[in-house]
Amino acid sequence: MLFGLGAAVALWEGWVPVLSNAVLETERAWMDRVSALIGTTPEREDFVFLGIDSASLELTAVSEDEISGSEVLPLMRERWPWDRRVWAAAIERLGEAGARMIVLDLLVGEPSGDPGADEAMAEAIAKYRERVILAADWGPMGIGLNEEEITTLVEPLPEFLGGPGDETSYGFVNYWADPRDGVVRETYYRISKNEVQMEPRLKRHPDEQVYESIAAVMGRRLGAIPADGPHRLRFAVHGRDGRRRVETVYAPMSIYEVFAERSWESKFKGGDFFRDKVVLIGPAAPRFHDLHATPAGMITGAQLHLQSLGCLLAGRFLMEAPAYWHWAALAGMAFLGALLVNWVRNPLAVTAAAGGLLVAWMIGVLIIANETSVLSGGVAGVLGLAGVVTTGEAYEFLLERMQRVRLHTQLSRSVSRDVADAMVRSPDGYLDAARGGRRQIVVLFADVRNFTERSEREEPEALVEQLNEYLSHMVEVVFRHGGTLDKFIGDALMVSWGGLEDFPPRVMARAAMAAAREMRNELERLNERWRQAGVEPFEAGIGIHIGEAVVGEIGSRERSDFTAVGDAVNLASRIEGMTKILGVPVLVSGEFVRAVGNCAELCPLGRFRVKGRHEPVEIAGAFIEDAEAFGVALARLGEGDFVAAEGVLLELSGKSAVEGPARFYLQQLEVWKSVTREDWDGVVTLDSK
């Protein structure tokens, strides 16, 4: 299934035009990068580029004395184009120096307007004709009958070419950039007029004349045999200066230095530097706009000729893998991605493994390109793997998310919401807690008063509906304060904090205090609404204690619940039961008071010995005012001064906040008056639950 999803994504990326163009552009950029990273064609030491650069056009580095003493330099001071006597002098000087080839990357297809200059250049070319190579250019000649632009080859002047049997060699200087991005990636060494004219290029006619590029003519002179068709260049990028920058390969030397005697002697060693070398003269200054974008960087047209010649002599060209290879790479890597997603379940492991595969794939593509000169589909493979892994992981994430939501929904029907959260969020953590252990927890019991009595005299449907509404609101309050709903016990509910995770006692105690306060407020709002609807309101008591309990999943093999058992749970239940005796809605233990810390809302109500427990328990009422006054009464009772205690309690019995405890103690005083101070321990013993 994952493979199908990944394949669908891959096909979508390949066939939708917008995405397809983006993929092709990325693939092109990747292959350009690979072509610059792999082993490249070495720079030839016998190639020299004499550039018509800014220094040669301005001659600011040459002294006036040297210029005035030269026959050529004054001609170079004139406006461009220079007098052709300059090129005649360059051919003479380089020819005398023993240059193997003298290549002029200059278009000389029209007379200069100075017959003497043209004649001087023709004589120099004729003298070294076997070594001179001139430039031709494919250019527009006009518009044909079908309104198509007619292209023709602009050749050098006939007087520069010589007669039949003794012709000067020449080659075209054109490179056709990729129309999609204007980058020159390939060259044509041999091409016919129809091939230049037609788009897309067609196979040439057998009888059609074929023309060679200037690089092909140079290469043939050096023993290479140029072939037909496009050739993707493998550029040299390591310059003689040691830097990996294509613009430093065949970097131009200023043409003026050939005529400046100081540099001729010092830099070119009186011409010895040029012996047996291929010397190309061409534009290098920015004003000529002769820069070409290549995969390796921007270079001049003359440098492009020498790069093309170097590739031809070394036989080092690049080939793009056929289209089916890209689809095969995409499908193969997509298949690996599908296996990875299916076999490895951990998302981090899948990501790490996919990253490793991508690195290995990229290295493999580089090795293939370096060893076989084939530029293969690196991006297609990346898309195949990344597409399937991303799709598969997204699918797994969504599937797991849906399963978690479904599981959480099902669990929430039978267990507390936070227990369900723990089960879904961290199953292992829940299982650790479910195995059982001793934890310090806060336990809260809440019970509806006189519910049994009401159930005997009211309609069960209406009473159950009211009870469900009450319990729903109470549970929402508990969840808002991070409590765990342990269970419903008829009309009562048991809540705990700290059963699933360890929290500081004060944090748990204050959360329980806040929950108890909101439960009381929520019950008041419900009662007000019920009164207005003519429904008898509820009264409820809440008992809270903090202590150690055994917490875990308890029950039979068929049914179990996450719950807490032990003395802390029993005592919390007893404290809740005391709310009926003392007439206080919320009671807490002394341990809970100490866990909460300084809290003015807690009023000590004395020490009690509850049924089933020998040690007395300190009890306090929550959210009670007049705590200080009631403390005076407790102090008198503790001293055994029942008369003084009775006076204080009588004053407090009319105050609603402590009315219940005051009446309880007044009733107890009738029993305690017969007790002597020696027998009095200040503890109230309760016989009922």
- pLDDT, residue 429, reads 52
Considering the chain, what is the average pLDDT of its residues? 83
Q: Residue 201 in 3-state DSSP? A: coil
Q: Which two tokens stand for residue 301?
A: 């047209």
Indicate whether 186 and 247 sit together in one domain: yes
Q: Does the pLDDT at position 272 exceed 70?
A: yes
Q: Which residue has the higher pLDDT, 74 or 408?
A: 74
Parent domain of 231: 41-315
Closest by CA to 545, choosing from 500, 590, 514, is: 590
Q: How many Cβ atoms from other residues are within 10 Å of residue 62's Cβ?
A: 22
- Round to whole Å and give the CA distance between 190 and 49: 23
Confidence grade of residue 12 (pLDDT, cut at 50, 70, 90): very low
- Round to whole Å and give the CA distance between 14 and 335: 16
Close Cβ partners of 567 (under 8 Å, ≥ 6 residues apart): 547, 548, 549, 613
- The angle that helices 642-652 and 627-639 make with each other, rounded to 10 degrees, is 160
pTM summary value: 0.59
Phi, psi (deg, nearest 5) at residue 164: -55, 135
| Average confidence (pLDDT) over 279-289 | 95
Indicate whether 235 and 364 sit together in one domain: no
For the ranges 412-426, 472-486, 541-555, 575-589, the lowest mean pLDDT is seen at 412-426
**Amino acid of residue 655:** K
- pLDDT, residue 265, reads 93
Indicate whether 157 and 110 sit together in one domain: yes
Indicate whether 307 and 189 sit together in one domain: yes
- pLDDT, residue 414, reads 42
- pLDDT, residue 410, reads 45
Q: Does the pLDDT at position 16 exceed 60?
A: no
- pLDDT, residue 430, reads 55
**Amino acid of residue 506:** R
In this structure, is residue 618 part of a structural domain? no
Closest by CA to 39, choosing from 368, 313, 370, 309, is: 370
Each residue of 484-493: b (16+ CB within 10 Å) or e?
Answer: bbbeeeebbb
Q: Does the pLDDT at position 7 exceed 80?
A: no
| Average confidence (pLDDT) over 365-392 | 75
Indicate whether 223 and 347 sit together in one domain: no
- pLDDT, residue 17, reads 46
Indicate whether 665 and 592 sit together in one domain: no
- Round to whole Å and give the CA distance between 441 and 419: 15
Based on the structure, what is the number of domains in the chain?
4
The DSSP bridge partners found for residue 107 are: 135
Angle made by CA atoms 562, 564, 567, in degrees to the nearest 5: 170
- pLDDT, residue 431, reads 62
Close Cβ partners of 615 (under 8 Å, ≥ 6 residues apart): 609
For the ranges 121-130, 199-208, 232-241, 654-663, the lowest mean pLDDT is seen at 199-208
Strand 297-300 with 291-294, pairing = antiparallel
Q: Does the pLDDT at position 590 exceed 80?
A: yes
Q: Which residue has the higher pLDDT, 373 or 573?
A: 573
State the CATH number of the domain containing residue 454. 3.30.70.1230
Q: How many Cβ atoms from other residues are within 10 Å of residue 290's Cβ?
A: 19
Indicate whether 306 and 331 sit together in one domain: no
Indicate whether 345 and 269 sit together in one domain: no
Q: Does the pLDDT at position 194 exceed 90?
A: no
Q: Which two tokens stand for residue 98?
A: 């023993």
Indicate whether 285 and 334 sit together in one domain: no
- Round to whole Å and give the CA distance between 481 and 173: 82
| Average confidence (pLDDT) over 10-36 | 62
Q: What is the share, in percent, of the chain residues with pLDDT greater than 90?
A: 44
For residue range 139-162, list pLDDT tens digits in order. Answer: 876 554 455 667 889 999 999 998
Indicate whether 674 and 539 sit together in one domain: no
- Round to whole Å and give the CA distance between 232 and 87: 33
- pLDDT, residue 237, reads 85
Where among 315, 349, 374 does a domain terminate? 315
Indicate whether 535 and 577 sit together in one domain: yes
Q: Which two tokens stand for residue 462?
A: 């209406």
- Round to whole Å and give the CA distance between 670 and 676: 13
Contact predicate 306/252, CB 8 Å = no
- Round to whole Å and give the CA distance between 408 and 430: 14
For residue range 665-682, list pLDDT tens digits in order. Answer: 888 888 777 776 666 777
Q: Does the pLDDT at position 657 exceed 60?
A: yes
For residue range 305-332, list pLDDT tens digits in order. Answer: 999 999 999 988 888 877 767 777 777 7
Indicate whether 129 and 46 sit together in one domain: yes
Q: Does the pLDDT at position 61 exceed 80?
A: yes
Contact predicate 259/68, CB 8 Å = no
